[in-house]
């Protein structure tokens, strides 16, 4: 029995376990912080890279690029106005159709549907969001396009032809199929965000409304919708952001031509669609650089919609929490 083994006080700071813990904690912290930093760096690097690659076009055309209607690879003249119009026009119309429908779906899922069906129907709607855009594009060109050309288009032009939106002859491609495709793509996203919002409405408020004799719709209009207003705006903006950035499905059905038209039967193009269609075929540096410039414009538009949505959500959350 050696005395030293039992009587020597152990110095706690040097116990191997303690040292290992200190190192482990530090390593975990550094790894996690590095990963978090990587996210920030990626976004910054992305912006930098786009500016760098489009610098040739930026220095050549300047800010006039966004107001110029030229797009001529042969003469090396490029401008983005037609594509900005196409992007804004199709996305806006898609949101106009999808937003009320998505809110109606979300209301159905939270207020109306029998309890047992809610999860099933909710999952089905979310599956619509999981369908790859290239599959929707495939469907768009082979099924939706002919349907619009032969059935929906003639129908609209016969009954609503007096409106500027339905002038001319329906074709296989154009704004109308693009709007329909985008509507299908943003509908489930907006609906599932809206559903989460409606689930946060306190039950007491709804029951108070029913107790006062309000009908279901009056309760929705008077309690559920005002209570979630801010979040709903953000949900719609998220859908808008998605519509603005969609390239693959739109490029199949929009016709890929220059032009600014009001009529939905006309062909056009969007920013994302033009990039997807021409990037591989671009031969000159200024052409490539101009396409990246388009991507930069697209990035700015989608950042504005997304950041606006985030700001609205945050403010809305704070408002709810503050109450």
Partner 1 sequence: MTDRAQFSLAPTRQLRRRQIVSKLMEGVMLVSALAAIAVLGLLIATVIERGHSALSVDFFTKGPTTNFLGTTGGIANAIVGTIVIVAVATVIALPIGILVAVYTSEFARGGVRRVLAFTLDVLNGIPSIVIGIFIFGLIVLSHQQSAYAAGVALAIIMLPLVARSTQEVLALVPDSLREASFALGVSRWRTVTGLIVPASFGGILTGGTLAIARAAGETAPLLFTCALTTTKISWDPSQPLQSIPLTIFQDLEQPDPALHEQAWGAALVLLTFVLVVSVLSKAVLARNRRKLSR
Give the number of other Cβ atoms within 10 Å of residue 60's Cβ: 17
User: Residue 269 in contact with residue 246, Cβ under 8 Å?
Assistant: no
Least Å distance, CB 180 to partner 1, is 10
Least Å distance, CB 95 to partner 1, is 15
Tokens of 167: 């002038």
By CB under 8 A, residue 208 contacts partner 1:
no
Residues 144-183 that bind partner 1 (CB under 8 A): none
Tokens of 55: 């610098």
Nearer to partner 1, 60 or 111 (CB): 111
Residues 75-114 that bind partner 1 (CB under 8 A): 101-102, 104-105, 107-109, 111-113
Binding marks (x or -) toward partner 1, 226..265, rule CB under 8 A?
Answer: ------------x--x--xxxxx---x-------------
Tokens of 122: 């909710």
Tokens of 263: 């009529």
Which of residues 145, 188, 239, 268 is near partner 1 by CB under 8 A?
188
With residue 197 as reference, give the H or E element that holds it. Answer: helix 175-199
With residue 130 as reference, give the H or E element that holds it. Answer: helix 115-130
Least Å distance, CB 70 to partner 1, is 21
Please spell the DSSP secondary structure of 170-185, one letter per residue. --SSSHHHHHHHHHHH
Angle of CA points 61, 63, 65, to nearest 5° = 55
| Tokens 């689930």 found at | 199
Residues 24-53 that bind partner 1 (CB under 8 A): 24-25, 27-29, 31-36, 38-40, 42-43, 45-46, 49-50, 52-53
CA distance 285 to 289: 6
Least Å distance, CB 311 to partner 1, is 9
With residue 121 as reference, give the H or E element that holds it. Answer: helix 115-130
Span from 20-28, 73-81, 196-204, 256-264 in contact with partner 1 (CB under 8 A) = 20-28
By CB under 8 A, residue 55 contacts partner 1:
no
Nearer to partner 1, 38 or 262 (CB): 38
Binding marks (x or -) toward partner 1, 262..301, rule CB under 8 A?
Answer: ----------x--xx--xx----------xx--x--xx--
């Amino acid at each position: 029995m050696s005395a030293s083994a039992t009587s020597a006080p152990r110095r706690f700071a040097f116990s191997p376990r303690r040292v290992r813990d200190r190192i482990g904690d530090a390593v975990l912290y550094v790894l996690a912080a590095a990963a978090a930093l990587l996210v920030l760096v990626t976004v910054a690097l992305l912006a930098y890279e786009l500016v760098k690659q489009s610098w040739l076009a930026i220095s050549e055309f300047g800010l006039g690029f966004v107001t110029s209607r030229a797009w001529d690879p042969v003469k090396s003249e490029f401008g983005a106005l037609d594509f900005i119009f196409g992007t804004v026009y199709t996305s806006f119309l898609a949101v106009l159709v999808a937003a009320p429908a998505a809110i109606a779906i979300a209301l159905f899922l939270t207020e109306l549907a029998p309890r047992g069906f809610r999860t099933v129907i909710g999952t089905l709607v979310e599956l619509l969001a999981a369908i790859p855009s290239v599959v929707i594009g495939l469907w768009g060109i082979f099924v939706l396009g002919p349907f619009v050309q032969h059935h929906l288009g003639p129908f609209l032009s016969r009954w609503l032809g007096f409106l500027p939106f339905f002038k001319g002859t329906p074709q296989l491609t154009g704004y109308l199929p693009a709007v329909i495709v985008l509507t299908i793509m943003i509908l489930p996203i907006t609906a599932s965000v809206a559903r989460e919002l409606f689930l946060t409405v306190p039950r007491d408020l709804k029951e108070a409304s029913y107790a006062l004799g309000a009908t279901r719709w009056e309760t929705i209009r008077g309690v559920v919708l005002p209570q979630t207003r801010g979040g709903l705006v953000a949900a719609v903006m998220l859908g808008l952001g998605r519509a603005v950035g969609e390239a693959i499905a739109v490029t199949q059905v929009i016709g890929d031509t220059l032009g600014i038209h009001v009529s939905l039967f006309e062909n056009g193009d969007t920013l994302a669609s033009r990039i997807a269609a021409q990037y591989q075929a671009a031969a000159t540096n200024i052409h490539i650089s101009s396409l990246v410039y388009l991507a930069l414009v697209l990035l700015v538009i989608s950042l504005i919609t997304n950041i606006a949505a985030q700001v609205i959500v945050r403010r809305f959350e704070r408002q709810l929490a503050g109450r």
